[in-house]
Chain A
């Protein structure tokens, strides 16, 4: 029976067929190494670029710091890409779109939160229209701190992600987090530093605002009724 580097059996029925031929298990092991190597070194990036960090992300794709040397290609469509780089502040109005674009990406997929706004909301975490970090919407694999991070720090973050992808293919990293998922948001993965001034209900309000926005997403369409289609956006939000 064909196994991969971590000893797990292959799930694909083609490998069971190949297993009947002598010597091919060795070939599939080498094939798996080849696949791991290529998956690690050809991460295509979908730039979810909204604000300041987008300019620095462009700089990382320009000539002084070249992200192409990591094998990364920037494609502006989610269906071609493996990695979503969230660069910039995500507002309540934008969060359902980010979620929708994340759902359009094929598995396996990864997410990098670039900059302090995408990590925790930073200055704007107490503001009514900004969500406190992108990991309340999509699961994040690598955090790149900074406001904004320098262009070379993007390469460091991508290097960390490559290591994680390699470990994941060997089965050394546990499965993706199973945090409870609401309609549009999930509970944050890491704890938040809270101010003394910050009202405890602010987080709940931000979560509720995004959850009740009622825009886009497959979950809304499933529960959609013909009567609710007649109203405008404001009526759907209630």
Chain B
């Protein structure tokens, strides 16, 4: 180990200064490298589309100088299933099992987004029992989604041998408990198809609230285990702290939302700012961190899990009596008709703001959508990659990609 005061040693290179100009005044990183810098002698490294750490079929082209990424160009579209086109053919009741598959880690919140825009368009007043049940389901789904994120993120930065697989086993153990609750309610572990315009399809079974309370106790008792495994771990600290910093202005300009935005210091949560379901009754304590790095995104998600546990425990004790759906049982699903016009509704999913933009008056005088546009939070998180990856090493690319929690089914749709 040579000391820094030895003769003839080159001075350390100056630390790279961050470009603080707005995005529109910088060089567009989506341009190809030839148009970007023709003099550069860089190595192009393809990552994906089949790669265990890209969280699905995602391809990113990295131009690297030694170990440092100079430029990154993402190529999405390997899971484009044409869902928005498919939604123009189907009736509104048939849309629910289709949109389950967008964000396949949190299907409950996808369904709530699509039925909410239909309810807003038709001005249906959802019964309070259904609203409370939807809040409970959304928060349980948030816990399950964040648990899966934590398991895969530690797998990304720790590797199978480095101890990441242990945390994944722990988080999947608790995630199975929540999936069992959903299976008891709807009969399915995945792709529940339990929401319908006007209410819910499955009522609360006998003994379900007691099991929810037990599961909440178990998860609350095991959250300190994750803190011991991750927060107190030096390797986790070194790999995540100060890596992939997104400042608040950049995050707002890119359209980030959810935990990624709140980790950058922007206090924004649709559950509190534009309450839906029963969130105005319980109130939401929004978790905000200021650093904007992978560590802050981890801290925000851990705090959100505890907040979700609080909301579920608050609501599960007295689920109000009454009907579960506002509409009478429809014999034909073509009876739900949305007139022509523009409608938008957004909810806060585990990944951020999931908006649905609907133009009514489609096939057979409103029985289907004329146009349905989904605003996925993961797509905007992916759009941040070219701006934050340059300057990081190749091994940090996996950590940054994992910390943004992208779901490719939502990006490509």
In the bound complex, residues from chain A placing their C-beta under 8 Å from that of B51 are 76
Q: Mark A114-151, 1 if CB is under 8 A from B, else 0.
A: 00000000011011111000000000000000011010
Which residues of chain A from 8 to 67 have a CB within 8 Å of any chain B CB?
47-52, 54-56, 58-59, 62-64
In the bound complex, residues from chain B placing their C-beta under 8 Å from that of A55 are 104-105, 148, 190
Asked if A91 is an interface residue, CB under 8 A from chain B, the answer is yes
In the bound complex, residues from chain B placing their C-beta under 8 Å from that of A128 are 82, 85
Docked Cα-Cα span, A89 to B83, in Å, equals 12
Could you tell me if B81 and A89 are in contact, using CB atoms closer than 8 angstroms? yes
Docked Cα-Cα span, A40 to B20, in Å, equals 59
The answer, among A51, A63, A76, A130, for a CB contact under 8 Å with B408, is: A51
The answer, among B52, B79, B82, B97, for a CB contact under 8 Å with A94, is: B79
In the bound complex, residues from chain A placing their C-beta under 8 Å from that of B50 are 48, 97, 101
Could you tell me if A59 and B82 are in contact, using CB atoms closer than 8 angstroms? no
Could you tell me if B409 and A51 are in contact, using CB atoms closer than 8 angstroms? yes
Contact flag A124-B81 (CB < 8 Å), given A56-B190, A94-B49 = yes
In the bound complex, residues from chain A placing their C-beta under 8 Å from that of B148 are 55
Asked if B333 is an interface residue, CB under 8 A from chain A, the answer is no
In the bound complex, residues from chain B placing their C-beta under 8 Å from that of A88 are 79
Asked if A182 is an interface residue, CB under 8 A from chain B, the answer is no
Docked Cα-Cα span, A10 to B56, in Å, equals 43
Asked if B302 is an interface residue, CB under 8 A from chain A, the answer is no
Count of interface residues, chain B, beta-carbon cutoff 8 Å? 31
Segment at the interface with A among B169-177, B340-348, B394-402: B169-177
Asked if B86 is an interface residue, CB under 8 A from chain A, the answer is yes
Could you tell me if B56 and A150 are in contact, using CB atoms closer than 8 angstroms? no
Contact flag A51-B56 (CB < 8 Å), given A59-B172, A150-B189 = yes
In the bound complex, residues from chain B placing their C-beta under 8 Å from that of A80 are none
The answer, among A54, A63, A97, for a CB contact under 8 Å with B49, is: A97
Asked if A160 is an interface residue, CB under 8 A from chain B, the answer is no
Docked Cα-Cα span, A123 to B79, in Å, equals 14
In the bound complex, residues from chain B placing their C-beta under 8 Å from that of A179 are none
Contact flag A91-B78 (CB < 8 Å), given A51-B101, A127-B85 = yes
Contact flag A147-B191 (CB < 8 Å), given A51-B408, A127-B82 = yes
Asked if A93 is an interface residue, CB under 8 A from chain B, the answer is yes
| A–B Cβ pairs within 8 angstroms, 16 of them | A50-B78, A50-B408, A51-B79, A51-B104, A52-B190, A55-B105, A56-B190, A62-B172, A62-B176, A97-B49, A123-B86, A123-B101, A127-B85, A127-B86, A129-B80, A129-B81
Leading 10 A-B pairs by shortest Cβ distance: A52-B104, A62-B172, A127-B82, A76-B52, A94-B78, A124-B81, A63-B169, A50-B57, A129-B80, A51-B409
The chain B residues found within 8 Å of chain A, CB to CB, are 49-52, 56-57, 77-83, 85-86, 97-98, 101, 104-105, 148, 168-169, 172-173, 176, 189-191, 408-409
